[in-house]
Structure 1
Amino acid sequence: MSTMFHELGHISHNRLNDFNYSFVAHSKYGESWATGVEYAYMKSVFPEYEYTYYSSEGDSWMYKHVVQGMLKNGFTLQEIQHGFNAAASSGWDGWHKAMKDNVINQWTDRSEEEKAEMREIVDIIFNNPVDVTLDLRDIVEAEYESIGLNQLVRLRLNEDARKLSSKSSNLLSIEGWEIADSDGVSVPHQYTDNSLFVYFTRPGRKKIRLTANVFGGERVYEKELNVDSQDIVERPADPIVGREEVFKLRQTLTDAGVEVKKWASGDNKTELLSFPSNVPNGRFRFTEKGERTVKVTVYYPTLRGTVEYEIKTLVRDPESDEIFYILNPPELFAYDTTYRAMYGVVGEKITGIERIECDHCHYLFYLYFDDSWSFDRNSGVLSFSIPKHGTYLDYCLTIFYTVESSDDVREARLFVSNYR
């Protein structure tokens, strides 16, 4: 069947006169076109089909893969034939030129930058007519396109690029990976294919850049990942001082073969209750309110190794009579620190903060504070800053807030010091 499609490709030369037909059909120019037609139609019938190199000694120089390369880089077979026919009297070099000048110049839906990139790709294809059988616009694959917080993901060359790289490092080699976002954490591994293993600690769209040497020139590729707000560890919704709280690895990861190797406490106010410590669910008790830390070591089959995470969680004290309390008291003379205060009334949900006043305090702090605070309704956490100055002071914040059970604006006071 492949031979039939190949010969049908030659029939398309019928627009040429007898002399040109014979010249084209038995040249690198004509045989490469027919080889491309063979590939395109075989691929449409058998999606797994891949063209194998022509092996007849003495003739292999004619059967090039430029059509296959151009198809993989976004050209249509009609566009490729248009360039082929436009170069009927000038052969291989004319076909090369026609693809750049005639075909690409007619595009109206591409920017000049995109057109310039495609001209560069056409040059690479015609200068390396056997080896460019991959999409040069994107050579990076990610294990997952969408991941959760702290979820490890592997990035590497895609299958076509790996084949080319294994053939010769002169054709394609990795120069380096770059994580564009500061919350990305790279994990060491033992692979020899220059994979990148990374996880992210904040949600959002994340960019990974790969710099590679491709056919003698440096090219930069970007891969975007979507990181949602769901953590790999399910944590208790409202952890309370003195109560047993359960943390566990998400079921989707467990189903994928990811395993917990060890749970551990991350501070002296956190007590591990699970024994042995490698059970899927980690049980803990917290002895003091505030931000507490749970540690978990997780094994990933794709990594063939483990990653240790620190899971931060906010713990409340049901016996506390404070309406707001500071979660992260500062070290001595700590300036320009973002403070966090927790709403501490058990069984009542705060819905918003109307305003905050800073009474009888440093004048500069009053001006600075007015625009610097923020409130997270989901967690009930108020964040604010104390500006830099030459002494330490006590501050009294008056917080005007509302709760779910009432429309009335309530008032609470919070005393803050910029020293411990």
Structure 2
Amino acid sequence: MASEHNIRTAPAYRRPMRTMEVRHFVAYAGLAIALIAGITLRFAYSADIEWKGDERWTFDHALAMAAGDAWNATGMPASVGGTNPGMSLWVFGALAKIFQVQSPPELARAVQCLNSAALIALVAFAFALVPRERRATWLWAAALWALNPLAIVFERKIWPPSTLPLLTVALIAAWSMRHNIIASFIWGALGALMAQIHLGVFFLVIALVGWTALQNRKSVRFGSWIAGSLAGTLPAIPWLMETARSGGTAMQGLRIPIFSFFVRWVQQPFGLGSEYALGSMDMIEFLADPVIGGVPTYLVAVAHVAIAGIVVAVFVAAMRRAIWLRLSWREAFIGRSPEAVLINASLWGYGLLMTMLTSFGAGAYRHYMIVIAPVMALWAARIVIYAAAPRERLAAILLVTICLAQAVISASLLRYIDRVQVIRGEYGATWQSQERSPVQ
């Protein structure tokens, strides 16, 4: 009877198991496709990289350093006055040396390698260190980040902030293991080193340690974190001495703060914001792409409308759910889970500090957000899942739609830049176009 019972009931147990296996296979296959597509887009059209004053300066100095010139204590001039730390240039000198760089596209290729590794590292982090019940959100974040148009544009550049995403993933991994003395030391050291590549990261470092302490002060091994921070600051000593001699930064008087950080936070991780790179005139033309057989398809416009519609619906649903659940201010602005603390530290902590900085004359630049690209993607995935809860299938449909729309926008954006070459927005003229018609 026992064997007969097993024979009769086995299919009932196997069927859900097979269904679950198929779902996992489809999910992992989709993630792999998103990563491959994102990496491919980062490497595509290698001659169409941005090529303006900052890129030229960085390339020339990196090549000289790789050839044996001195590694200067300072980098290029900072937007707030003074100079950037030498680390902002050393990272390119190291890349030029390691990759045997001879041309700007080759140096950009080295940056693209770093950022492709960052995508893979985020997935590895999710599988290695994130509990199974929270893992899906991180994997969705990896897919969203991989296909994001502005992330792809930024992560192809010869620019100090563009080298940060891989270090951000490493920072998140060390922070997630902060109960460990060594991990806390690495967390502190990485934050200090990253702040030397881009000064704005200093405010992210302060925000993250502050929010972590607010959530659970005992979770931070302050002694180890401080020791790591001091160790990571050692390479900055020559720059600090030079800055002290030259008079430091040149901040302006008080003005009304610029709150664009929060607008971009909502737009950018969902794939909106290509007008930053293209400018208004090129953006209008871009919306008609792709052009097939001389006929505009407006597929890019459809992708933007689809994303915008999803974002509005998600925000309405998320707000209604938060009100119904009576979400406390502590949950909303600090958070309970590690993901919530990380997101709130980046959104409210880093965002408010960078916004306050604009009151003293600093610019509100999009490149300040390159370092938090994976965190913004995590937030986008979380809010969609939160708004759709408990309907997991609906959340998956919405996230897949966003990923597909982003893929259309990203591929079309790079194709548009390749076709036009001289962009009337922030992107400017490509390296290829300037090589063909050098400015006298």
TM-score normalized by the length of structure 1: 0.21
TM-score by length of 2: 0.20
**Higher strand content, 1 or 2:** 1
Q: Which has the larger radius of gyration?
A: 1
